[in-house]
Amino acid sequence: MALQDLQIDWLKCFVAVVDSGSLSSAAPELCRSQSAVSMQLKKLESALGCQLLMRGPRQHQLTAEGQRLLGYARRMLDLHAETQAAFQGEELTGRIRLGVPDDYAAKYLTPVLKRFASHYGSVEIELNCEQSTALIPLVERGEIDLALVSRDHPRHGTLLFYEPMVWVGSPQFQTWRRDPLPIAVYESASLARRSAINSLGLQGRRYRVVYNSSSLAGQIAAVESGLAVAALTQCSAPPHLEILGSDHGLGPLQPMEVSVYRSQASQGDEAVDSLHNLLVKTLRMSETTMES
């Protein structure tokens, strides 16, 4: 049986779903709706005459045929990107100083940098991982060019999306049952800390700060050891920790406004322009996409 030609868009959707683990995670990276991504995958499976992914409620797993296709798909997409770059004229070069908190690096920044590198491999990126409260002044002083941050004022960049905040605790220790509630928090200027304390204040819940750290790893360690509960961004909450809510005596938390913030000194830099535009294009979600 003669097979249909494979379209690049189908392969892009397939690889994005594999890398992100689900349709909902791949959709914003591809700047498509979840239903459009699903349709592209169906067309690819129809063209090859086999099932490539086993759909689960949250994660998608490769079938044996999907595993076979994956290596070919990556090579085809790499060659496609290389071909495009060869005909774009003068190669883009330069250095970009980029900042991101640990919370957002893996889920949000990694797929963007993969796409950027495939098109602009000669641009050097210097990555600075710190909390938003440290990154925002660095952008304003021109010490870094771009940063993905949690903002507390509209002047701090272009709004991309709202990241939910969640309470987390260790199911082994059930620290949330203690009174006063022991909490692990970020530094005093942190928006996550402010959200946690405001929520507890609205509930009239007694608490005490037992752990201070600007490190995400430190927050998680404090929770895992039973020392405290913590308020984390949903994207950074490890699956082995329990998400806490009203059943645990804890109220809702304000979501974070995630933005891309650019220094004035970097205006007109073509490399920074390209990464800034890609961040906005990839991560700015419509309300429909966010709900799915």
Query: What's the pLDDT band for 292 if we cut at 50, 70, 90?
Result: very low
Domains 8-86 and 94-160+257-291 belong to one CATH topology: no
How many Å apart are CA 285 and CA 189, to the nearest integer? 27
How many Å apart are CA 124 and CA 169, to the nearest integer? 39
pLDDT in tens, 72-118: 998 898 888 778 777 766 678 899 999 999 999 988 998 899 888 87
Report how far Cα 214 is from the mean position of its chain's Cα atoms: 19
How high is the pLDDT of residue 286?
Answer: 36
How many Å apart are CA 118 and CA 137, to the nearest integer? 30
Q: Which among 25, 80, 88 has a CA at the least distance from the CA of 274?
A: 88
Indicate if the pLDDT at residue 281 is higher than 60.
Answer: yes
How high is the pLDDT of residue 191?
Answer: 93
* Cα first-last separation, the chain: 38
pLDDT in tens, 252-279: 999 999 999 999 999 989 999 999 988 9
How high is the pLDDT of residue 16?
Answer: 84
Q: What topology is assigned to 8-86 in CATH?
A: Arc Repressor Mutant, subunit A (1.10.10)
Query: Using an 8 Å Cβ cutoff, are 135 and 128 in contact?
Result: yes
How high is the pLDDT of residue 235?
Answer: 94
Question: Which residues, in sequence order, are CB contacts of 243 under 8 Å at separation 6+?
Answer: 166, 167, 168, 237
Structure tokens that stand for 225 in this block: 């050891």
Q: One-letter amino acid identity for 108?
A: Y
Matching CATH number, 94-160+257-291, of 3.40.50.300, 3.40.50.1820, 3.40.50.720, 3.40.190.10: 3.40.190.10
How many Å apart are CA 206 and CA 183, to the nearest integer? 10
Measured in degrees and rounded to the nearest 5, phi and psi for residue 92 equal -75, 130
Q: What topology is assigned to 165-254 in CATH?
A: D-Maltodextrin-Binding Protein; domain 2 (3.40.190)
Indicate if the pLDDT at residue 171 is higher than 70.
Answer: yes
How many Å apart are CA 135 and CA 39, to the nearest integer? 40
H helix count then E strand count, the chain: 11, 12
**Torsion of the alpha carbons at 22, 27, 33 and 35, rounded to the nearest 10:** -30
Task: Report the 10 Å Cβ neighbour count for 229.
Answer: 29
pTM metric for this prediction: 0.71
Q: Average pLDDT of the chain?
A: 89
Domain chopping of the chain, boundaries = 8-86, 94-160+257-291, 165-254
